[in-house]
Chains A and B, each alone.
Chain A
Amino acid sequence: MRGTTRWSLLLALVLAFGLAAAACGGDDDEGDGGEAAETGGGGEATDEPIVIGAAVDLTGQMAPFDGPAVTAAQIQVDKLNEEGGVAGRELQLRVIDHQLDPERTKSAAIELIDDGADVLLVTCDVDFATPAVQEAITRGVLAVAPCIGTDQMGPERFGDQGKLAFSIGNVAQDEGAAMAEYAIDQGWMRAATATDNVIVYFQDVVKAFAARYTELGGEVVVEESWTQGDGTIQNVVSALDNANVDVIATSTAFDDMPAMVGGLRSLGNDTPIICGWSCDGNYWLPEGTDNFYLVTYASVFGDDPSDEVKELITAMEEQDQAPGTGGFVTGAAAIDAIAAAVEETGGTEGEALADAFEGFEGLETISGEISFSEEFHSVFGREYRVMEVQNSQPSFVELRAASSPAEIE
């Protein structure tokens, strides 16, 4: 009897797998169609829609970055479609939430490309995005991250096929340089740096700050580092509190950012802190945060200098998707850049689109003028919004572009 029960378990499992395969495999035909579209679609005049797939995180820790970017991308897609589409073709955006699960990230990319995606949008961190990026570029599909902030989207990280990988985010060398130039202009000549080693973008922003800051005559007197979540942030706070400097430069996010800022202020230390885009938004600000500065893509506090950006924010608010940080604008800018590349090449072939991207110099997008080069597959030369936080309220101070990206190792 017991043997029968166990064998029936095997039978049940076999049936369950059969069912699972049948349920999940229902899109087989679409998959084949997708491949046909992928191989035959590029470069040819066609009425077929241009499909932009998005393998992003809408529930995990990247959701505050990916979510608004995808909403803004959808609004821009709708806007361009109302204006007649791109090269006479309709744009479509298809989104899969991979929740940062690496297996899911890859299978989402496979599914979207099989389903006919001509371009793939990926999550805003290169480490999390890698499985999707590799799937796209090995299949000749352009991979665009709305807001990855390192120069890692490109051949350096992904070999020759990395030619097909781009980010509409700022290259960290540029963002850190803008922070340093602003700090020097304020007369802050002695700095402490606090490096969060959890992701490359955080590390590179601080490296770039230090490089440009010392070039311009500033002195970095204290260098602290930790890794997000390792439980040592209070040690960093103590060291920074004892540093006796004019400015503290950092780039971090998540839980340790409020711990650092709140920790310093609770010790009565009101040294100005300057940060990159990762510190944007007021959702994390500890009560009574003063003397906090950051550079970002757009102000989400109603005082952005661009009317187009303000309109986009209003459109997002109407959908109950008010952006928390200025990074949202990169989602819309990604659509602008993809549209410009499709217009220029007349098709969606990955290699041709990548050539067009590399040639963009001062391309007008909703996030201002953006440029790429063979070296930098992330944006440089962007006009940042410098924001100042007093009493936990961020406000726009000025537009500032870095004179050039800083040289870092």
Chain B
Amino acid sequence: MRRLAELSGLVAPVLLLALVGVVGTFTSRSVQFQFRFALVMAAIVIALYVFVGSSGVVSFGHVSFVAVGGFAAGLTTVPEALKLSLSPDLFPVIASAEVGNAASLAIAAAVGGVFALIVGVPLMRLSGLSAGIATFAVLVITNNVLRNWEAIGPGARTLSLVPETTSFLQATVGVIAVAALAFLYQRSRWGRVLRASSDDPAAAQGAGVDIYRQRLLAFALSGALAGFAGGLLVHLLGSITTQQVYLDLAFLTLAMLVIGGFRSLWGAVVGALLVSGINSLLLTAERGLDLGIGEVTVPTGTRLVTLGAVMALILLFRPTGVTGGRELTLR
């Protein structure tokens, strides 16, 4: 019974994600696209949660892994001729790589995971604010390298003509897979150890826990999931630029996690979907939203002001997020 109650912590997020996937299919095509986008955002936020939620260390740099995953998935599915026209100096191995949708997502996850592992080796020795700032530095460095090194990608140009394979099915199955892996990790011995060590580092170290190694594992796993989510994103939009996977996305995904509650998977899912919903509704309202009882139009810019205000209010009145950082379980 207890095991069932624990498992129920996965049921609620999966149910909600599946529901969004199903409800979305009944809308118009442009709204369907926004629903699919919300699901992909949820995948990114869950990936971020795997590290932040377990370690208690804020990461501003996870969008780097989304970026490398996105570019990896894009570059391995775009025809060689187009890649070379965008970037004639591309490494031959990247120029000639052409794989299917599923393989490109696997590559995205692998690239994200390996990249996170490499940068994690020095970074995971840091704690608190310095770790957060160091991850921000990773974001800036990654963006500049992607933007200027035309041997590994299109540089400042948009990588276009990426096959748009992130259908509702792929988005929903993809995000549920990410949620399931996040759940399995948090229930695992490693997940519990890291969470315990973030609550009381001294006690954890006293009990023989190697915090550095545990953090590195969480960072690499969450980097792999973020890379995978980047793959879903590029296959949704059909194109990617370095600007799309930079500060705006980093702020937005972190805001989603904080608003939802960064200590639980349920919080990550709720935060991502809630903010995506508010975002879409306000964007529509900026142009005029028909509520059936009359059209509501809000001034342009309301969306960003509202998101900022919601985040500030949540931090003030419910610092643990709308879910209180708790899982939704039967207990």
Q: A residues engaging B (CB < 8 A)? A: 3, 6-7, 9-10, 13-14, 16-18, 20-21, 23-28, 30-31, 58-59, 96-97, 99, 101-104, 106-108, 110-111, 114, 126-127, 130-131, 133-135, 156-159, 197-200, 227, 409
Contact = CB atoms under 8 A, between A and B. Distances in A.
B283 A104 contact: yes
B157 A127 contact: yes
Contacts of B284: 23-24
B323 A131 contact: no
Contact of B28 (A7, A25, A96, A159): A25
Contacts of A28: 27-28
A13 B289 contact: no
A159 B328 CA distance: 48
B12 A21 contact: no
A21 B24 contact: yes
B322 A9 contact: yes
A198 B27 contact: no
A21 B23 contact: yes
Given A17-B20, A26-B28, A135-B238, 16 more contacts: A3-B329, A13-B270, A16-B277, A17-B19, A17-B23, A24-B284, A26-B290, A28-B28, A102-B237, A114-B29, A114-B30, A130-B160, A131-B238, A134-B238, A197-B156, A227-B156
Interface stretch (B31-39, B45-53, B213-221): B31-39
B310 interface: no
A7 to B, nearest CB: 7
Contact of B31 (A13, A25, A30, A101): A25
Contacts of A26: 28, 290
Contacts of B287: 96-97
Given A21-B27, A59-B300, A227-B148, A126 B158 contact: yes
Interface in B265-296: 270, 273-274, 277, 280-281, 283-284, 286-287, 289-292
B239 A24 contact: no
B238 to A, nearest CB: 5
Given A158-B160, A158-B161, A24 B280 contact: yes
A311 B88 CA distance: 46
B244 interface: yes
Contacts of A7: 328
A27 B300 CA distance: 22
Contact of A130 (B158, B277, B290, B322): B158
A198 B239 CA distance: 17
Given A10-B328, A20-B280, A127 B241 contact: yes
Interface of B: 12, 15-16, 19-20, 23-24, 26-31, 33-35, 37, 79, 82, 85-86, 88, 147-148, 155-158, 160-161, 164, 237-239, 241, 243-244, 270, 273-274, 277, 280-281, 283-284, 286-287, 289-292, 300-301, 322-324, 326, 328-331
A159 B82 CA distance: 7
Contacts of A24: 27-28, 31, 34, 280-281, 284
A127 B157 CA distance: 6
Nearest to A126: B158
Most buried by B among A30, A131, A159: A131
A247 B330 CA distance: 74
B30 A111 contact: yes
A9 B82 contact: no
Q: Which 5 A-B pairs have the closest CB atoms?
A: A25-B27, A111-B30, A110-B30, A127-B158, A24-B31
B205 to A, nearest CB: 33
Contacts of B160: 130, 133-134, 157-158
Most buried by A among B15, B16, B30: B30
Nearest to B31: A24
A21 B238 contact: no
Contacts of A59: 300-301
A199 B156 contact: yes
Contacts of B26: 21, 25
Contacts of A409: 88
A302 B212 CA distance: 68
A103 B277 contact: no
B322 A20 contact: no
Nearest to B277: A20
A23 B281 CA distance: 9
Most buried by B among A26, A130, A134, A197: A130
A13 B16 contact: yes
A198 B157 CA distance: 9
A102 B158 CA distance: 11
B33 A103 contact: yes
B156 A21 contact: no
Contacts of A103: 33-34, 37, 237
B34 A18 contact: no
